[in-house]
Amino acid sequence: MGQFSKFVHPGAKRIISSANRDQLETTAFENTDGTVAVIVMNQSDKPLGYHLWIHGNAAYINSLPHSIATIVIPKNKLIN
């Protein structure tokens, strides 16, 4: 719960997100300030690399075993 409350602000709206691996779970929120918080949980026993895609741009991220991470994208980096 602490992971969510630290990066997902009151009034945030849940937005669509999906993972293409069974071992990863994801959810995302748009905060009222325009930032987007993407939360990814790796349920596996090994590190998993993945690409975070937003508007046709990707960033490679490595997720540690049994970890939860939040990626916050500033409003000025969200270009349609």
Domains and CATH numbers, the chain: 2-77 (2.60.40.1180)
Give the DSSP H or E segment for 63. strand 57-63
What is the pTM assigned to this prediction? 0.86
Q: Dump pLDDT digits (tens) for 8-63.
A: 999 999 999 988 888 999 999 999 999 999 999 999 999 999 999 988 888 999 99
Q: Which of 22, 19, 24, 25 is nearest to 53 (CA)?
A: 19
Q: CA angle, 34 as apex, 32 and 39 as ends, to 5°?
A: 90
